[in-house]
Structure 1
């Protein structure tokens, strides 16, 4: 019974964490954001771009 209450919160938390990671990845890649400028605009973590 408790699992039914906790499970939706876990899923929502996981989705939120995932969206934050994706947003950070985009911010690092984009030269428009301060984070992107700091890292040279291309982004040091190019794990997604390298595979495509």
Structure 2
């Protein structure tokens, strides 16, 4: 199961898990996508 604020990030995390990645790999993928689609909520200061 993958949960995130954006469906594209969820899809990225789920794809990593399906390919045999670890939970940490999926979390990194989710955060990378969130940095692209919701940059205002992904900085050091949060949203």
Higher helix share goes to which structure? 1
TM-score when scaled to structure 1?
Answer: 0.33
Higher RCO (CA 8 Å, separation ≥ 6 residues): 2
TM-score when scaled to structure 2?
Answer: 0.35
